Amino acid sequence: MESELENFREQWRAEVARSRNTATNSTSTTQQQQQQQQQRPQKVQAASSSRLPHRGRHEPPTNPKIASKIASHQHQEDDDDLTRGEAFDEPNGPVTVPNTLAAFEQGPGEVEKEPETALEFYEKAVDKETAGKLGDSLHLYRRAFRLDNHVEKAYRDKHFPGRWGKQPQQQHASTPEAAAATNPSNAPVTVPNTAHHSLDGPPLSLPDLIASFAGLSIQGAPPAVEGMPPPPSPMSQLPEEILVHILRDVAVLDIADFVRLSQVCKRFAFLVATEDRIWRRVSLGEEFGFGAMVYHFQRGISWEDLSRDDTPRTLEDAEDFLTLEELRQHQKAEAEATTLELVRSSLYASSWQNMWRRRPRIRFNGCYISTVNYFRQGQSTGNQITWNSPVHIVTYYRYLRFFRDGTVISLLTTADPADVVHSLTKELVRQHENKAMAYLPTAVMSEARKGRWRLSCPALDQQEGSGADPAEVEGDLFIETESSVGPKYEYRMDLALKSAGKGARNNKLAWKGFWSYNRLTDDWGTFELKNDKAYYFSRVKSYGFGGV
């Protein structure tokens, strides 16, 4: 009995000792976490003297340990680090404009819910960072990491569950031994690796795949009940000429709907990809194509009509006998002749579809937005150390909206895109001239500036006798706008049409120069583009297909 009692006492002492050690460790761990939480805001504030890279919506940060901090140096501009263009739906009313981008993306009648958990704070921080509001995103990142140090792992598991998980089969298959293991165990040595076998043969290239659809026809829907007659399919009974005519009308109304028809069936995919008559009509048309491009200034800077003397000469003395309307008709015919000449060049290989995708052109169904962020050192006092000095994050936006008549609206403001894009109209610009009606929600348009634009063309911009390819002259955009300091100044912007991303085309305007012109002294001043970033196109559905 005494031996059993002694064993019980020893077990009891050991259990008490273990409980005391566990309590001591938990207390020390809690103290360390509190110290880390107290030190983290100071470290984040000290590290906030540089730039947070932009990321897409719901995309995880590059480094999970410093998601709430800013990199220690500013890196050069990159397409993947800049805010992508977004699509803006129609507003809920004529003057009702949402206050934030998150509220704008919600449906009508919905109220933005305040975040409560660490994951909700993190998701809202990503949305703010995507919109270019780095100050708000940094504050939300801090709150998220204070609530949970591993919040980014939860974010990745929620939005990217398959991308971050390990895939043992793919990893092992990359080695020769693992690839050999995919063969059946009883396969002879002479049989090649079955992992490379395919019942349909090797994969076809895109041109060969499209060519294989040439002999296919449009198939009707199968019967809903076996044995019953199939439902009627009028489209499959149409002759080829009428079908092409219908597709051409669809392309003229909306080129995006025409391209999406290739997802209906293989016959439609073949026609969309190979029917060059439709792409010729779209390219030469004035709806979306190069017939709507402006290669000579058609308006004055303040949108006034040009006089005969203000029009540049391209025919020398022969133009003196032409009226202004005849001169514009000649310029239009000249631009069409240039298009017909360029399509036969080696750059486009006589393909109207290639010309539509590759040739520089302005898009009218949206606006171009430049999001600018930079850091400015705040005032420090004598009792503050250098690494803990305050830093101001400055965010502003530049907007450009183009019209088919050669006019443009330019706006520089700190207002978010959701508060601005639906107000970029000529009516509101005229309504808010001279700072009128400042009490309206669209008062931001009082800072908008009128202007004009044109694309570069060989007739005006190609040096005489240079022998350069006309296609190499294109791609530059010239914009002249009113000044924000007085009527005696004008602004001149030179931009280059670029493409950002794998599928999009002509969705980026890169800076080439920015100047101010003094009308009285005939002097030019240069603006240094230290913080300004490129413009990116954003679709705005309330614009329709663009106005005149």
- Total structural domains in the chain? 3
**Alpha carbon distance 546, 404 (integer Å):** 8
**Alpha carbon distance 514, 533 (integer Å):** 12
Domain check: are 296 and 432 in the same one?
A: no
Contact 290, 361 (CB under 8 A): yes
Cα 454 to its chain centre, rounded Å, is 23
Q: Which domain holds residue 62?
A: 48-73+83-159
Which of 319, 341, 358 is the last residue in one of the domains? 358
Q: What's at 292, amino acid-wise? A: A
**Structural domain includes residue 206:** no
**Structural domain includes residue 468:** yes
**Alpha carbon distance 204, 167 (integer Å):** 27
Contact 262, 255 (CB under 8 A): no
**Structural domain includes residue 281:** yes
Domain check: are 340 and 376 in the same one?
A: no
In a 10 Å sphere around its CB, with 0-12 CB exposed, 13-18 middle and 19+ buried, how is residue 186 labelled? Answer: exposed
Helix (H, G, I), strand (E, B) or coil at 510: strand
**Structural domain includes residue 192:** no
Domain check: are 133 and 245 in the same one?
A: no
Domain check: are 458 and 532 in the same one?
A: yes
Burial 275-292 (b: 16+ CB within 10 A, else e): beebbbbbbbeebbbbbb
Domain check: are 99 and 58 in the same one?
A: yes
Which of 358, 391, 409 is the last residue in one of the domains? 358
Per residue of the chain (548 residues), give pLDDT as tens: 667 777 777 877 887 777 777 666 655 655 555 555 554 444 433 333 333 333 333 333 333 333 333 333 333 444 444 445 677 766 554 433 333 334 433 444 445 678 889 899 999 988 888 777 777 888 899 889 988 888 988 898 888 776 555 544 444 444 444 444 444 444 444 444 444 444 456 788 888 888 889 888 888 888 888 889 888 888 888 999 999 999 999 999 989 899 999 999 999 999 999 999 999 999 999 888 999 999 999 999 999 988 766 666 554 445 556 777 888 888 889 899 989 989 988 888 889 999 999 999 999 989 999 999 888 777 666 665 555 667 788 889 999 999 999 999 999 999 999 899 999 999 999 998 888 788 888 889 999 999 999 999 877 777 665 666 777 888 899 999 999 888 889 999 999 999 988 778 889 999 999 999 998 998 999 998 888 899 999 999 888 877 66
Domain check: are 396 and 517 in the same one?
A: yes
| Location of structure tokens 């703010």 | 128
Work out the number of other CB atoms within 10 angstroms of the CB of residue 103.
12
**Structural domain includes residue 118:** yes
Domain check: are 278 and 409 in the same one?
A: no
Strands 391-402 and 476-482: unpaired
Domain check: are 393 and 423 in the same one?
A: yes
- Separation in Å, CA 82 to CA 53, 219, 236, 334, 413: 7, 45, 46, 38, 19
